[in-house]
Amino acid sequence: MTGLTRFDLPRVYPLTDVKTSGLAHADQVQLLIAGGATLIQLREKQMPPREFYEQTKAAVEIARRSGVRLIINDRVDIALAANAHGVHLGQDDMPPEAARRLLGDRAIIGYSTHDVEQATKALTLPIDYLAIGPIFATSTKTDTSPVLGLEGLRAVRKAVGACPLVAIGGISLTTAREVIEAGADSVALISALLSKSTHISETFEALNSRL
Ligand code: 3NM
């Protein structure tokens, strides 16, 4: 296991989403950084790879200038080509072992899990943090597993010990605190941060200062 006890997660972990925000990835990254984000994931499910690569390059440049770490959802190739800090992989993406071989020891690798069994199995993988979700119902992602609730999250925390743990799925500005109290080190959010796209920096800052 590489580093499953060493990676220091920020309390709030924003994910970009062009559909929710109506903004390019680099613009979302800029606004999130202005609000105080230090770790950001680019999440893109529709754009042609060429365009996503260009947007990723622009976002990486902005992030590196501010000392912010940028993680790419699913696409190990684009993370590598655009010199991002790492990738976030789902259960059906390239296996973390293969991604680690391509990206090297210093890359950040996150991994999505959806129940206690998957989370426990992931503890031996060469990853830096685990994500668990959906905690609550969400309309941002359609192919989600059953909702875990706060009880499910507590059970996962118990099963994974001190492993860096990100909670995701349907988390709002008002439920974020109870999600942290139930055992998450960090809350990952899309719609709660991005749907009011004229206030992304302010929304991030307000949530971050409360957690
Ligand atoms: N992954 P929102 S739920 C990207 O369960 C993602 O693994 C999930 O968006 C999982 O904060 C989810 O708008 C959607 O609910 C998160």
What does the pLDDT look like over 82-130, one tens digit per residue? 999 999 999 999 999 999 999 999 999 999 999 999 999 999 999 999 9
Does residue 2 have a pLDDT over 60? no
pLDDT of the residue at 4: 67
Q: Is the CB of 96 under 6 A from ligand 1?
A: no
Whose alpha carbon is nearest atom 15 of ligand 1?
170
Architecture field, domain 12-210:
Alpha-Beta Barrel (3.20)
pLDDT of the residue at 144: 87
Q: Is 195 a catalytic residue?
A: no
**Between residues 1 and 203, the one the model is more confident about:** 203
Q: Where are the domains of the chain?
A: 12-210
**DSSP, residue by residue, 61-92:** HHHHHTT-EEEEES-HHHHHHTT-SEEEE-TT
Q: Is the CB of 30 under 6 A from ligand 1?
A: no
Q: Is 112 a catalytic residue?
A: yes
pTM: 0.97
On whether the CB atoms of residues 110 and 71 are closer than 8 A, the answer is yes
Kindly report, residue by residue over 59-94, the tens digit of the pLDDT. 999 999 999 999 999 999 999 999 999 999 999 999
Q: Which of 57, 64, 69, 141 is catalytic?
A: 141
